[in-house]
Structure 1
Amino acid sequence: MTTAPPRRSPLRSWQFRRVITAEFISSVGTQMTTLALPWFVLTTSGSPARMGLVFVIQILPVPLLSMPAGLLVARWGARRVTIVGDVVNAVLLAAVPTLYLADMLPFWALLVIVALVGSVASAYLSAQRMLLAEAIGPDEGAVTAGNALFETATSSARLVGPAVAGFLIAQFGALNVLWIDAATFALSAALMTGLPRRETVPEKLSANNMAEGVRYLLRDPVLRTMSLAALGYGTLMPVVLLALPVMAKARYGEDPHVAGLLLAAWGGGTAVGTVAVARLARRISPTRFAAYGGVGAAVMLWLLPWDQPAATVAVVVAASCMFLPAVTAPAVALLTLRPPEHLRPHVLPVFGAAVFLASPLAYAVAGVLFEHLAVSTVLVAVAVGATLCALVLLNLAGRKAEAA
């Protein structure tokens, strides 16, 4: 009598490792450009308004085009869309220094290039998540863990990219940093090219498919609840992020070191949380995991409004951010796997579009709130909102447990 060898985890497959490696490389380059491009605009034009306009133009196509872009992902497949997106991004980013050195880059042309980069991102983001699921397989726990590791790569890039960019800008100038970002996308495309082809049935581009995806998301109680809760946290946490420098100014004597400490705590807590979720995801159902993460984040956020030393504020910020991947990773996993396969490219972009709309709106509203209200008052309101989201997730987990 023989014993079958244990099944190897899909998270150890070479396909998954290629996807994660490509994501980390391209994300580091993107984070470098996030600093280099505004610096280039500010130093060449001397206009903070122009710098802000570049941000707006880049992010605006993502929510506007995410849903139609899902039709393209459904027709071409996630692998092809990702590769084409990498190549197009590499060309667009290389065009900025090329045109500038040739004295052929008026500001309107730069805005066109930036808008095209944002348009590519509208399809690229959902295609990456689908490609991740294809590399892992249909296991919800494995996909949740994979999404957490995906977020680990992205969070690590947020820590590494700006620091490296600051050094390179000082040494070589902002234009040369854009060359490096273009190279990271080219390398990502090369890694994706090595993935096995997945046969897809060409789907006719139709708004009916997109509408059906929206209806499915709104009709399915699990996806609807998970999406609303994740969107709630995605709206509340930008307010907390904007509160950190306000707290450093109002409570801690305008000390920039405190602001840096709190922002580092944010990134560090997120990175730790993604690693923890990746290790535990296959042992806990997605709905229960999201409920645990929602409760933990809400409890930590209730500790944030009160006056306390900067060190304990940093600990609270790190802890609250540590719990958030337990909400977002299961939500993305269910959005990726729960719909029928022909609807998956049309469901995930709906959530992505909502998040991309909510985040800038949250920043704008938070800025107004901090102008007129005490930071502690705003943070209490955030804690109340997080508690409501946690209760929604607890109710969903309870209903799923009863149905099991």
Structure 2
Amino acid sequence: MTTATTAKVPLRSPQFCRVVAAEFTSSVGTQMTTLALPWFVLMTSGSPARMGLVFLIQILPVPLLSMPAGMVVARWGARRVTIVGDLCSAALTAAVPALYLAGLLPFWALLVIVALIGCVASVYLSAQRMLLIETIGSDEGVVTAGNALFETATSTARLIGPAVAGFLIAQFGALNVLWIDAATFALSAALLTRLPRHDLPPEAPSASNMAEGVRYLFRDPVLRTMSLAALGYGALMPVVMIALPVLARSRYHADPHVAGWLLAAWGGGTALGTLAVAWFARRFPPLWLAAAGGMGAAAGLWLLPWNQPVTTLALTVAASCMFLPGVTAPAVTLMMLRPPEHLRPHVVPVFGAAVFITSPIAYGVAGLLFEHLSVSTVLTAVAVGASLCGLVLLNLARHRART
């Protein structure tokens, strides 16, 4: 990626567009599978417990295998891993309806397939971000903007995927939707095949590289502080998401429409925020962008505990979520660029694994908090925590500016 046109407008390069298009396509497939596969289990077995087990088995390999996945990416390259990952996901997803129609799909076999899908996802997620660097280079502003646009594709897929899956399941049944899901993964692989190859490091990665990557993350003051702040928001924002239906029930006469509007405001604010970050990223350093995002999100959260009309509450939720990509995009960018090149595939998965572990715990704790405390009390505590995270990021940006 060294041509003059690419250097001038790297985010408009055909290669970058292919990566974003592939991410959107595969994410839509992932979101459709997330709904269609458990629904298929529920309808064929009638067991909510089996459906929950499918959810667990599918997501469990992601945090458990994220660190070893970095070695796979370092050894084989991000381009090859993402293409193979898409093809494996397509084959595994298609295997479910194929085996079921052949009468060869006992529940244990379904769990094996689902576990393999989770294993592929753990490697795939590690490779995606590294593929971004291979496509648009290593300029901080450009990579931050690229990460933001990448998140725009992912967030949009999260909004569209479940809705499309619900419609298609109603029209054609979950089994047939799984065929469509498999096709989206195959299309994603086809989009990535024309990307240029990236030279692999001459030395094969080893377990020592993985351990060194972990040590680098904790030793580097910027990465360590950014990780703690990002994990702080990752633990706090699930509490806010759980609070939205609680607010609809306790303050707005248990109106399900209000809950829907608030969740839509969450998704819309996040999507707008990713676009805003893509514009600001090439004008401000990542640390200052993260500090502004953190403080802005915290300011909005202080308004949530107040009793207010649903319209202003929705706008407050959207405004708070709009600032969050200002934290996450710079955090991922710094995780990708600050380590030496041979350690990058081993640093990013550590951060991803921590996020995957933190979010489910936060959702579980949030449910317990709302059982015993008022929603205003919990949201005030969230605002305090978010403010502390924002101050940590602001102090980091000021300290690095002086040095």
Deviation at 1:5, TM superposition (A): 8.7
Equivalent position of 1:18 in the other structure: 18
Give the conservation status (yes or no) of the 8 Å contact 1:337–1:344: yes
Matches within 5 A, 1:216-295: 216-295=216-295
Per-residue deviation, residues 343-400 of structure 1 (Å, max 9, x unmatched): 0000000000000000111111111111111111111111111011001100000011
Deviates more, 1:113-122 or 1:38-47: 38-47
Give the conservation status (yes or no) of the 8 Å contact 1:248–1:259: yes
Equivalent position of 1:386 in the other structure: 386
Per-residue deviation, residues 273-297 of structure 1 (Å, max 9, x unmatched): 0000001100000000000000000
CA–CA distance in 1 between the matches of 2:100 and 2:260?
33
Matches within 5 A, 1:392-403: 392-403=392-403
Mark the CA change 1:203 to 1:182 in structure 2 (over 3 Å): closer, same or farther.
Answer: farther
Partner letter of residue 51 of structure 2?
Answer: M
Deviation at 1:336, TM superposition (A): 0.5
Per-residue deviation, residues 274-325 of structure 1 (Å, max 9, x unmatched): 0000011000000000000000000001111122122211111111110000
Give the conservation status (yes or no) of the 8 Å contact 1:301–1:382: yes
Deviation at 1:205, TM superposition (A): 4.5
Per-residue deviation, residues 184-208 of structure 1 (Å, max 9, x unmatched): 1101111111101111025434221
Is residue 148 of structure 2 the alignment partner of residue 148 of structure 1? yes
Deviation at 1:334, TM superposition (A): 0.7
Give the conservation status (yes or no) of the 8 Å contact 2:201–2:342: no
CA–CA distance in 2 between the matches of 1:26 and 1:231?
26
CA–CA distance in 2 between the matches of 1:180 and 1:7?
37
Percent identity of paired positions between Structure 1 and Structure 2: 78
Equivalent position of 2:335 in the other structure: 335
CA root-mean-square deviation: 1.3
CA–CA distance in 2 between the matches of 1:89 and 1:247?
38
User: 4+ residue runs of structure 1 moved beyond 4 angstroms?
Assistant: 4-7
Give the conservation status (yes or no) of the 8 Å contact 1:36–1:177: yes
Matches within 5 A, 1:5-404: 7-201=7-201, 203-403=203-403
What TM-score, normalized to structure 2? 0.97
Gaps of 5+ in 1: none
CA–CA distance in 2 between the matches of 1:272 and 1:160?
15
CA–CA distance in 2 between the matches of 1:127 and 1:236?
27
Mark the CA change 1:7 to 1:358 in structure 2 (over 3 Å): closer, same or farther.
Answer: closer
CA–CA distance in 2 between the matches of 1:369 and 1:349?
30
What TM-score, normalized to structure 1? 0.97
Give the conservation status (yes or no) of the 8 Å contact 1:75–1:202: no
Give the conservation status (yes or no) of the 8 Å contact 1:74–1:203: no
Determine helix, strand or coil for the equivalent of 2:308: coil
Determine helix, strand or coil for the equivalent of 1:282: coil
Gaps of 5+ in 2: none
CA–CA distance in 1 between the matches of 2:167 and 2:161?
10
Aligned length: 400
Mark the CA change 1:5 to 1:25 in structure 2 (over 3 Å): closer, same or farther.
Answer: closer
Per-residue deviation, residues 105-127 of structure 1 (Å, max 9, x unmatched): 12221111111111111111120
CA–CA distance in 1 between the matches of 2:239 and 2:6?
46
Deviates more, 1:297-306 or 1:366-375: 366-375
Give the conservation status (yes or no) of the 8 Å contact 1:76–1:202: no
CA–CA distance in 1 between the matches of 2:209 and 2:357?
22
Mark the CA change 1:7 to 1:76 in structure 2 (over 3 Å): closer, same or farther.
Answer: closer
Mark the CA change 1:6 to 1:67 in structure 2 (over 3 Å): closer, same or farther.
Answer: closer
